[in-house]
């Protein structure tokens, strides 16, 4: 069907055809509860400045369609789940002394194509230049984890994130997240040879001169990276700072550079909750093969984690 044929369809038939596009791309992920006759709008664009004929949008009270697309690209991880976090001994000391896990601003890794990779591959308006990308990155805070069940070369994790084996591997058990405050998802690794679910949907709709942008798409920009990072198999805990919302960030020095960081309080035990935005506790620790175990033990014994078990890599 071309754009002209689509334009001549009755309104209900237009929505039915759009529904077929979503179902063909999403398959079983397309929500059964979503009704393309009442949970969305299709508006005719008029005027000389209109770049498309139609604007398709999910109504604000729904958003399940957008979530289904996001889950197809970067699946949300349902708690409870145990995840590994590799870090240096110095960073672990700060965690041990504060009882907090810091989510750092995405500005810290902007040179790794944070946000830019997803925005450019999905032609996102309002994120075409560096200033716009930096403004968004400034309000994204995240911490990276790996899945213990993923078959990956652990030496690479020690080398890249565990201070070349001189650091530690922390196993956190995340028991709950509050989706309005924190989001736990797998990273979507973007490949030019493989289109994401959103790209497939937008391409199919574009042939009919229909524009579509899911709600809260900017949040998903924080879960897209170029494919050359795919060996990291990253799972990311992300929080977004909203205008007018409560700002809990603070300045933190990393390698002589000051960044903003968002603290998540670590629960002292498995049956307690220290932070309602995300409940997590430290289950065990593995000391890196080149780590100073005596220094590590002194840090551990002086902290709230003194009863957490540890082993040598």
In angstroms, the CA 287 to CA 242 distance is 37
Segment 119-148 shows an average pLDDT of 87
Close Cβ partners of 79 (under 8 Å, ≥ 6 residues apart): 174, 175, 176, 177, 184, 279
Q: What percent of the chain has pLDDT over 90?
A: 57
Sign of dihedral through CA atoms 263, 75, 235, 312? positive
Q: What is the pLDDT of residue 216?
A: 84
pLDDT value, residue 162? 95
pLDDT value at 54 more than 80: yes
Q: Does the predicted model carry a pTM greater than 0.75? A: yes
For 8, the token pair is: 């001549």
Average pLDDT over residues 256-285: 87
Q: 121 pLDDT band (50/70/90 cuts)?
A: confident
Distance of CA 257 to the CA centre of its chain: 24
Query: Vertex 185, ends 163 and 33: CA angle to 5°?
Result: 175
**Distance, CA of 65 to CA of 171 (rounded, Å):** 33
Query: What is the residue extent of each domain of the chain?
Result: 81-193+227-312
**pLDDT band (50, 70, 90) for residue 180:** low
**pLDDT score recorded for residue 179:** 61
Residue with tokens 């078959």: 151
d(CA 78, CA 74): 13
Give one word for 282, left, alpha or beta, with left for phi > 0 and alpha for psi -120 to 50: beta
Query: Are the beta carbons of 216 and 124 closer than 8 angstroms?
Result: no
Residue 52: pLDDT band by 50, 70, 90 thresholds?
confident
Mean residue pLDDT across the chain = 89
């Amino acid at each position: 069907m071309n754009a002209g044929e689509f334009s001549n369809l009755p309104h209900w038939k237009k929505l039915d055809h759009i529904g077929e596009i979503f179902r063909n791309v999403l398959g079983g992920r397309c929500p059964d509860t979503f009704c393309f006759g009442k949970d969305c709008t299709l508006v005719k664009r008029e005027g000389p400045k209109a770049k498309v004929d139609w604007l398709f949008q999910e109504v604000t009270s729904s958003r399940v369609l957008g979530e289904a697309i996001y889950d197809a690209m970067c699946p949300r991880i349902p708690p409870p789940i145990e995840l590994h976090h590799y870090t240096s001994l110095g960073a672990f000391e700060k965690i041990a002394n504060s009882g907090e896990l810091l989510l750092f601003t995405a500005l810290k890794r902007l040179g790794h194509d944070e946000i830019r990779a997803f925005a450019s591959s999905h032609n996102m308006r309002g994120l075409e230049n560096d200033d716009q990308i930096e403004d968004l990155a400034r309000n994204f805070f995240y911490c990276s984890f790996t899945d213990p069940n993923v078959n990956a070369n652990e030496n690479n994790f020690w080398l890249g994130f565990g201070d070349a084996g001189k650091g530690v591997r922390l196993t956190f058990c995340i028991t709950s997240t509050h989706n309005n405050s924190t989001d736990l998802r797998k990273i979507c690794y973007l490949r030019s040879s493989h289109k994401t679910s959103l790209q497939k949907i937008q391409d199919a709709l574009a042939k009919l001169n229909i524009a579509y942008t899911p709600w809260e798409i900017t949040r998903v920009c924080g879960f897209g990276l170029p494919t050359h990072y795919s060996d990291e198999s990253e799972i990311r805990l992300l929080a977004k700072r909203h205008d007018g919302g409560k700002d809990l960030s603070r300045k933190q020095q990393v390698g002589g550079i000051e960044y903003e960081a968002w603290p998540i309080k670590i629960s002292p035990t498995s049956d307690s909750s220290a932070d309602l935005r995300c409940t997590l506790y430290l289950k065990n620790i593995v000391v890196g093969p080149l780590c100073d175990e005596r220094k590590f033990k002194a840090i551990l014994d002086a902290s709230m984690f003194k009863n957490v078990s540890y082993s040598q890599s």
